[in-house]
Every structure is written in structure tokens, then in C-alpha cells.
Amino acid sequence: MGQSFLEFAKTGLYKAKQNGAEHAELFVVKSRSFEVELKNHRIDDMKQAESSGVGLRVIKDGRAGFSFSSDFRATALDKMVTQAITNSHYSDKDEALCFPTPANRYPQPAFYDGTVKKISLDEKLELARETTRYAEQFDMRVKQVERSCYEDGEVEMWLANSNGVCLHQLGNYCGLACLALGEQNGEQQSGYGMDSGIRYTGLSAKTAGEMAAHRAVQMLGAAQIDSGKMDLVLDPMIAAQIMGIISSCFSGEAVRKKKSFLADKLETCVASTELTVIDDGTLEYHMGSASFDGEGVPVERTVLIENGVLKQYLYDTVSAVKAGTVSTGNGMRSGYKGTPHIGTTNYYAAAGNLSPAQLIAEVGYGVYITDIMGAHTANAVSGDFSFGASGILIEHGQLTRPVRGITIAGNFQELLKQISGVGNDLTFFGSQGAPTIRIADIAVSGK
């Protein structure tokens, strides 16, 4: 579609200008997805889908207008232009509105594996079955693997604007998932496991299957503990989840509107010196990598927190203008039906120097957290949070017995400063990652 898109873009930009738009932008997405789900080693569900569409943004008289369509005919383009111009009349005037100009250089990290779409259905099915087998064989208490899934897909996009930006990129993903059921003395627990990435050869059925099985059996026989202050050690998946909760607090727009507890704290200590947080869209073969963001700005490596000191916020083009700075390449889109918003690329807490075993060995009494609930209730403005949690009790540096029915409450501003150790096991879950993280003296409510 390369050459045809160029002609389509030229036509769209020309028609938008003809209808009174000072600036215009076309964003085209073409995607393909495949998923197969197994139950009892047999296909239970299989889905394959393709979609494509275009989004049009215009700026007229300092107001933004937007429209979209999955129809690429000339008559549909005319309607899109008319609709976008009309919609701009109902938007608030904003002198900061603008589209980026072409950059001198765009990073070219590898984020596409062309072999994925060449893999046969039989091979994909066998990988999902292998995931099931690893889960079943992990522990005799795994009584059933409720499902194993394989999925992959491609996303191709083109972007052009009236400032001369004209870009194209193609990416893909693939992944395995597994849900296992553990049982002991009439009690049942479920566990979820996954492995995902860009490269098919990097997928591990062992990782996904054994993760699901381990999580299914590790909480069997869990009980509450007494309330008190104690150290917590966060499993990498939980650490990534908690770091993901505060990712919106790095938004330059949220900071400008005072809707982030990190507002007005640049170059101040906001966390333990153990913590460094990075957003990096240039990593090789990572799911959040790209050449440019949803506005056509080159992606970057942005250090957000360095050894506990807040160094930078994330910006798209408009929020950067309002802050008197430049975009960090974080204008993200969820598809052609929406406009850009500030988001992360590959967002992660950097690895430390201690092994998970060392982090646990230094805890006299605490909990290794393997699951949290209620993460959506956290308040990004104040930093207050309250999570339900479960995990494994730590006594004298040893994991002893499973724990559930506890509540962790506090404030992120304090929690970040109470980090007392960071593991060397950085693990990515999709485009977010973290190592094992230890936090000192956290209030835990139990029985």
C-alpha cells in the first residue's frame, strides 16, 4: 500500500487545505491478528481478523477536528474532510495546537520478525500443546490446564501531515498464555502464565506453562497473618504492575494540570537511590519499540527517575509546547479511531545488583507478594493506594507458607522512598518491565 498511501495522503491533505484547514494529518493503520485456544490439547476456539482504517486530524482557526473511516474510497475521504472540519467548530481554541515537522533522524530499532507469519498452524498448535504439557508436568497438584493459547499479529502504519512528515513502519508480536488449576485437600487455586515478544524463536512454552503451574499451586493452603509493619518483596510481575500504575504520573499534561503527585518535583529526590525508571522506545526486539510515535515524532530513551531523582516527564507535541519544551516521542495511539495521547513505550524499572534470593535472605519477617487486587483504585494525584494482596510469608530470610487476605495501604510518595533493594532479574511483561523489588516497613493489614 506504500505508493497508494502516498497518493491517498496527498489527496487527503490537499482536500483538507481546500476546505479551510491550516494543517492536516492522515494516519492509516492496517492490522492482522491470529489466536488459537486449546482445551484438553484440542482446539477450542480459533480467531483470525484483519482490519484497516484511516484517521484524519485538522487544525482550523486554532481548533482541532477529527474524523475516521474504514472506507478508503474518494467519496469517503471527502466525507471525512467535511466531518473533521465541522467537528473543529465544536472544539475549544488552543494556540498550542500544532503538528510536528520532519526530524533529521528516526531511530531504527528491530521490532519486526517476518518469520512469524510463515509459521504453520500445526507448529503454532504444537507450541500451545507444549505449554500445556509443561504446566501439567510441573507439579502433581496441577489437576487441570483450563486453556493454553497462542497468538500473533502485525500492525502496519503510515503517517503524513501538511508539514512534510511522511512515514511508514511495520511491527509484529507473538505470545503464549496458559491458565492452570491447582488442587489440594479440596481447595482449588488458579494460576496464569505468559510469554510474549517480537521473535517467534524467543517464545518459551516452558516459561509460560511453568509460570501458570507455579502460580496455581503456590497459594494452596494459604492463610492470613497478623497485621503489622513489615518488609515486602515484589515479584517482577507485581513490581511491573505497580510501576505501571504510576506511569501516568510522568505525563507532562497531568503534571501541568496538577493531576500528578510528581508535579513540580524535577531534580528532586522522589524515590530511593536504588530506583531508576526508564521509558525507551529504541530497545531492540521489544514490544513497545518503534521508529516514531503516533504523531510522527522520533521515539527516544527517556530517563524518568535516576537513582531516586526525578529527571524528566513524558510529552506529546502539544503538551511539550505548553510546557516550553520538546516532545519526548510519547504521543501514542490505540488505533485509527482515536487521537494521540501521552503514553509509554518500553517502560521499566532498571535492574539492580542483587539476586532475588539475596533480597529475600535479608528479610527477617515479611511477605513475597505474588498478586494484588484493586490496583485501579490508586489515586494518581495524591498517591494514595490500598491493595488486596497475597503471597508467601518470609521468616528469617526463608519463604515459608502462603498468605492471603491481606491489605497493603499507603502512599506512592512514601513507597518509592522505602525501596530497599532492587533485583538483577529485569523481566518484561509486554511493554512494561521490572525486576524483583524489596520495600521496607510497609503497613500490612491481616487478621
Q: What are phi and psi of 430, to 5 degrees?
A: 70, -125
**Domain check: are 237 and 350 in the same one?**
yes
| Segment 49-78, tens digit of pLDDT | 999 999 999 999 999 999 999 999 999 999
| Segment 400-443, tens digit of pLDDT | 999 999 999 999 999 999 999 999 999 999 999 999 999 999 99
Q: How far apart are the first and last CA of the chain?
A: 62
User: Model's pTM, two decimal places?
Assistant: 0.95
| Segment 2-15, tens digit of pLDDT | 568 878 888 999 99
Collect all residues with Cβ–Cβ distance below 8 Å to 433 and sequence separation of at least 6. Answer: 236, 240, 346, 347, 348, 349, 426, 427
**Domain check: are 201 and 295 in the same one?**
no
Query: Can you give the residue range of the structural domain that contains 181?
Result: 116-154+171-217
**Domain check: are 233 and 188 in the same one?**
no
**Domain check: are 203 and 237 in the same one?**
no
pLDDT of residue 10: 87
What is the number of other CB atoms lying within 10 angstroms of the CB of residue 429? 17
In Å, how far are 20, 176, 247, 343, 356 from 197, measured between CA atoms? 44, 9, 21, 19, 23
pLDDT of residue 122: 95
**Domain check: are 337 and 438 in the same one?**
yes
Q: At what angle do helices 121-138 and 205-217 cross, to 10 degrees?
A: 30
Note whether residue 46 is domain-resident: no
**Domain check: are 284 and 372 in the same one?**
yes
- List the chain residues with pLDDT less than 50: none
Domain total for the chain?
Answer: 2
